[in-house]
């Protein structure tokens, strides 16, 4: 007998350097909400959309790459705010290229209204969508987008 197993889609939410200081860090650019607020928003959004999340933050490039590797085979999608590594890290791009699911890149600030060195993101070369300048609501928008896409794929199967 074939059993009907309903698998909940898993989304990894990865945050890069200095995002642990949200709330304290340049509030005029990043707002007053903390990383805990971001995590709460992601968990609430995921719950409403019927997906599961794993939430991480690291200040270390190699640790972010390890989490991307960990997502392979476990997650259907990644939300990533690579922070300053967006503009410098070919290694994070390469790691994301090894991941077979959807990728949403989030920036709390509008990187295109800021210094020119922030205008280019290596990660955007792999991202299925880029959300920039919506504040922490960008994470909610990303999870909603990914959950919808994953559901429509699931229904097509």
Does 89 contact ligand DQA by CB under 6 A? Answer: no
Which of the following is catalytic: 12, 85, 107, 122?
Answer: 107
Distance CA 49, CA 17 (A): 28
**Cβ neighbours of 156 (radius 10 Å):** 6
Smallest separation (angstroms) from ligand DQA to the CB of 30: 7
Q: Is 69 a catalytic residue?
A: no
The answer to whether 38 contacts ligand DQA (rule: CB under 6 A) is no
Q: In what order do the strands lie in the sheet with 10-15?
A: 52-57, 10-15, 77-81, 102-107, 129-132
Q: Which residue stretch of 38-46, 68-76, 78-86, 95-103 sits at the interface with ligand DQA (rule: CB under 6 A)?
A: 78-86
Q: Is 137 in the site for ligand DQA (CB under 6 A)?
A: no
Of residues 33 and 128, the one with the C-beta less far from ligand DQA? 33
Task: Compute the distance between CA of residue 117 and CA of residue 7 in angstroms, rounded to an integer.
Answer: 41
Residue 107 annotated in active site:
yes
């Amino acid at each position: 007998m074939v059993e009907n197993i309903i698998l909940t889609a898993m989304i990894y939410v990865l945050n890069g350097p200095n995002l642990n200081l949200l709330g304290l860090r340049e509030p005029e650019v990043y707002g007053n909400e903390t990383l805990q607020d971001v995590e709460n928003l992601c968990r609430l959004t995921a719950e409403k959309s019927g997906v599961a999340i794993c939430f991480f933050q690291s200040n270390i490039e190699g640790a972010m790459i390890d989490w991307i590797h960990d997502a392979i085979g476990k997650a259907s999608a990644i939300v990533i705010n690579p922070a300053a590594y967006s503009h410098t890290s070919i290694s994070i791009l390469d790691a994301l290229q090894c991941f077979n699911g959807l990728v949403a890149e989030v920036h709390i600030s509008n990187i295109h209204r800021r210094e020119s060195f922030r205008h280019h993101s290596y990660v955007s070369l792999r991202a299925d969508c880029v959300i920039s300048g919506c504040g922490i609501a960008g994470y909610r928008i990303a999870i909603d987008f990914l959950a919808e896409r994953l559901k429509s794929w699931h229904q097509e199967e």
